Amino acid sequence: MFVVMSDSHYDREVIKSIKEKYQNTASHIFHCGDSELLSSDEIWNGITVVAGNCDYDDGYPEYVLKEVEGKKVLITHGHLFYVGLGLEHYSYFAEEKEADIALFGHIHRPVVQKINNIVYVNPGSVAQPRGEYDIKMYAVIEIGEGQYNISYHNLQHEPIPELQFKL
Ligand SMILES: [Mn+2]
């Protein structure tokens, strides 16, 4: 099980809360960018984080490819791949990198989509939700036998019933 959050936009406490909740149980914690914190902040110890379009600290990478629980997990913010227009550009990159799971943020909306056997996940935003679900949220991903369970949680760490996916 690993945890994905994004777009915290200056809210350091929410990152701390999620980190404290999962640091002893999750195999990894990811943040898809737009934290607007310094890349040297100690909060990032044990978290993989990338650069968002609102991050002006140049210490963040544009993307990271990391093996977690035997799966190749790609993470990027998404603005470089125009994810606001869809996943076409990001999917080319994720396929080239041979990712199993491709994480992204930027649009502040939950997305779970499988394209050419790669699962794309946007965890929504822990600070500024947009669109259909006005809920600050993050995603918990479990890797099962030939199946991924993607469970969105609110900031009380409760599952959001309408945002539970198996694929
Ligand atoms: Mn953002």
Quote the ligand 1 centre to 78 CA distance (angstroms).
Answer: 10
Quote the ligand 1 centre to 52 CA distance (angstroms).
Answer: 7
The whole-number pLDDT of residue 145 equals 84
Q: What is the CATH number of the domain that holds 31?
A: 3.60.21.10
Taking phi over 0 as left and psi of -120 to 50 as alpha, with beta for the rest, 90 belongs to alpha
Domains in the chain: how many in total? 1
Which pTM does this prediction carry? 0.97
| Consecutive H or E run containing 95 | helix 88-96
Quote the ligand 1 centre to 34 CA distance (angstroms).
Answer: 5
Quote the ligand 1 centre to 27 CA distance (angstroms).
Answer: 25
C-alpha to C-alpha distance for 98 and 4, rounded to whole angstroms: 20
Residues 109-145: pLDDT tens digits?
999 999 999 999 999 999 999 999 999 999 999 998 8
C-alpha to C-alpha distance for 88 and 81, rounded to whole angstroms: 8
Q: Which domain holds residue 83?
A: 2-166
Instruction: Show the low-confidence residues of the chain (pLDDT under 70).
Output: none
